[in-house]
Amino acid sequence: GDSVTQMEGPVTLSEEAFLTINCTYTATGYPSLFWYVQYPGEGLQLLLKATKADDKGSNKGFEATYRKETTSFHLEKGSVQVSDSAVYFCALSRNYGGSQGNLIFGKGTKLSVKP
Amino acid sequence: KAGVTQTPRYLIKTRGQQVTLSCSPISGHRSVSWYQQTPGQGLQFLFEYFSETQRNKGNFPGRFSGRQFSNSRSEMNVSTLELGDSALYLCASSATGPTLEQYFGPGTRLTVT
C-alpha cells in the first residue's frame, strides 16, 4: 500500500542554519504531496504542497520539489529561525476524480532551533 | 473565515465508557475527515464524510464510528473505551473540487484511565 518515510528526528539546529528533512514515498499513480507542521499543543497546518512531478511548493521560506524519479519530496529552508521549532509531517494523498483521498502521513520529524 | 473547531479540547474517560467528539468544519466545506494521533502509531486516518455519507474508512475496529449532519458538522463516537484509545483526535475539513487541501482543527485530547 501507499506509504511515506521521513527522516527520524529529533533534528537540532542553530538559528540561521540550513534545514533539510528527507521524505520519500511509495504510491501507485501520481499522488499529491504535502508538508504539514504541528506546533506544540496545536493541530496541523499545511505548509506547502505539490500536485504533479517537478512542481515546487513553497511557503514562509520553506521549499520542496516533487521528484517522481526518486519518489522524494524533501523539505528545505535556507535559514531557520527559533520560531520554526515544531514537528514536520510529510504526507501524500491519492486523487479521485478531483477530490482528495485521505492523507497518509510519515512519522514526523521534530525540529528544534537554538538561538 | 473561521477555522475548523473541535469540542471538547480535552476529555478524560474511564475504560469501558463511550465518548463523542464534535467537529465543525470551515464554512462551505462539505468534507470532514478524522485522524487519530498517538506517539506510537503516528497519524492514522479514521474516516471521511461527505454530504452526510461515509466516503472512506481507515483500518479501525467497529467501536469507532462517525456521522455527519446536513450542516456538515461531524461527530465521532468511540464505544467501550480502551486504554489504547488515548490519543489526540484531529478533524480536518476540505472544500469540494480539486483544491486538494485539508484544514485541521486543534484536536481533542482524549485520555482513557
Which of B6, B102, B103, B108 is the best substitution to test chain A (most A C-beta atoms within 10 A)?
Answer: B102
- How far apart CA B17 and CA B72 sit, in angstroms, is 26
b/e map of A62-90 (b: 16 or more CB within 10 Å)? bbbbbbeeebbbbbebeebeeebbbbbbb
Question: How many angstroms separate the CA of residue B39 from the nearest CA in chain A?
Answer: 9
More confident residue, A40 or B96: A40
Which candidate from A43, A99, A106 shows the least CB-CB separation from B104? A43
The arithmetic mean of pLDDT across residues A7-13, rounded, is 91
- Per-residue pLDDT band for A96 (boundaries 50, 70, 90) equals low
Q: Does residue A94 carry a pLDDT above 80?
A: no
**What is the pLDDT at residue B98?**
47
**DSSP strands (E only) in chain A:** 3-6, 11-14, 19-21, 23-26, 32-38, 44-50, 56-59, 62-65, 75-77, 86-96, 99-105, 109-114
Question: How many angstroms separate the CA of residue B100 from the nearest CA in chain A?
Answer: 5
Average pLDDT over all residues of chain B: 92
Question: How many angstroms separate the CA of residue B79 from the nearest CA in chain A?
Answer: 23
The arithmetic mean of pLDDT across residues B23-38, rounded, is 94
CA B27 from chain center: how many Å? Answer: 17
**What is the pLDDT at residue B35?**
95
Which candidate from A36, A43, A102 shows the least CB-CB separation from B56? A102
**What is the pLDDT at residue A70?**
95
Task: Say if CB B38 and CB B87 are below 8 A apart.
Answer: yes
Give B45's contacts in chain A (Cβ within 8 Å).
102-104
CA-nearest residue of chain B to A32? Answer: B100
More confident residue, B14 or A101: B14
Instruction: Tell me the per-residue pLDDT of A53-64, one tens digit each, with 9 for 90 and over.
Output: 999 999 999 999
User: Measuring CA to CA, which residue among A9, A91, A23 is closest to residue B44?
Assistant: A91
What percent of chain A is predicted at pLDDT more than 70? 94
Q: Does residue B97 carry a pLDDT above 70?
A: no
**What is the pLDDT at residue B100?**
65
- Per-residue pLDDT band for A21 (boundaries 50, 70, 90) equals very high
**What is the pLDDT at residue A34?**
94
**What is the pLDDT at residue A99?**
53
The arithmetic mean of pLDDT across residues B73-92, rounded, is 97
The arithmetic mean of pLDDT across residues B4-27, rounded, is 97
